[in-house]
Amino acid sequence: MSKQFWAVLGVLAAVFIGIIFINNKGSNTTSSNVQPTNHVIGSTSSGVLVMEYGDYQCPACGIFYQTVHDTISDYKDRVQFQFRNLPLTSLHPNAFAGARAAEAAALQGKFWEMHDQLYVNQNVWSSASDPMSYFRSYAQSLQLNMEKFTSDFASSHVNDLINADITAFEKTKADKATPTFFINGKQVDSNSLLDSSGQPSKEAFAKVIDEAIASKKQ
């Protein structure tokens, strides 16, 4: 075969490898104009914002979930709560998919509902080789438009939103662990949210929030 043939073949191979490289990096790149998510619930009356960076497959986040949920219920008339994605995919291979499900639901106004479904059912979907059937079931129970949910789940826009959250967390310079909480931008010592047995405590969480509310009044 001619040298020209091999030269053309080499160029085509290089292009093919380049396409594969770009596709494999897709979940790790973010459009520069995409802002972090803004999933907020509660009241601004006290001027206190509690932010959680969480991973839907993270066992510790699952353990914290009920405490956070109950605390939101108790303080929603005084404090704002915000959740952002921090999927630790090296430890939790389904974490990014869980975040995709939440963000796809958010585009139909059902972020917090899907957020709850993912944590309540964490033990069901987290070990699945393909958790999408579970996510579709949760989406159907929330009466989402399934065609839109499936399309958004796989979209680059949802991918970019999650990566924007990750980038925002990295800018805090905090150790990459979940769950990580901030109150008005200041990282909360996770140990301060535990009871004497080492379990998440609504009373301990309330104490930290009450202190933040009191400090805003000074």
* Domains with residue ranges and CATH for the chain: 42-217 (3.40.30.10)
Identity of the residue numbered 44? T
Residues 52 and 83: their CA atoms lie apart, in Å, by 5
- 101 SS3 class: helix
Token code pair at residue 128 = 């699945």
* pLDDT (0 to 100) of residue 65: 98
CA dist 120 to 16, 32, 138, Å?
A: 43, 34, 11
When pLDDT is averaged across residues 182-208 and rounded to a whole number, the result is 97
pLDDT band with cut points at 50, 70 and 90 for residue 7: very low
Token code pair at residue 158 = 């949802």
* pLDDT (0 to 100) of residue 14: 40
When pLDDT is averaged across residues 117-142 and rounded to a whole number, the result is 98
When pLDDT is averaged across residues 21-34 and rounded to a whole number, the result is 50
* pLDDT at position 154 over 70: yes
Nearest one of 79, 97, 83 to 180, comparing CA atoms? 83
Element (H, E) at 73: helix 59-75
CA dist 64 to 48, 166, 197, Å?
A: 20, 20, 14
* pLDDT (0 to 100) of residue 2: 44
When pLDDT is averaged across residues 87-107 and rounded to a whole number, the result is 99
- 49 SS3 class: strand
More confident of the two residues 32 and 42: 42
* pLDDT (0 to 100) of residue 16: 37
* pLDDT (0 to 100) of residue 5: 38
Nearest one of 62, 144, 68 to 98, comparing CA atoms? 62
DSSP characters over 132-163? HHHHHHHHHHTT--HHHHHHHHT-HHHHHHHH
* pLDDT at position 115 over 90: yes
- Find the range with the poorest average confidence among 24-38, 76-90, 130-144, 145-159: 24-38
* pLDDT (0 to 100) of residue 31: 56
Residues 89 and 27: their CA atoms lie apart, in Å, by 11
CA dist 109 to 20, 145, 218, Å?
A: 34, 11, 37
Token code pair at residue 180 = 């990580």
* pLDDT (0 to 100) of residue 24: 30
* pLDDT (0 to 100) of residue 218: 80
* pLDDT (0 to 100) of residue 33: 80
Q: Which three-class secondary structure string do you get for 184-203? A: CCEECCHHHHECCCCCECHH
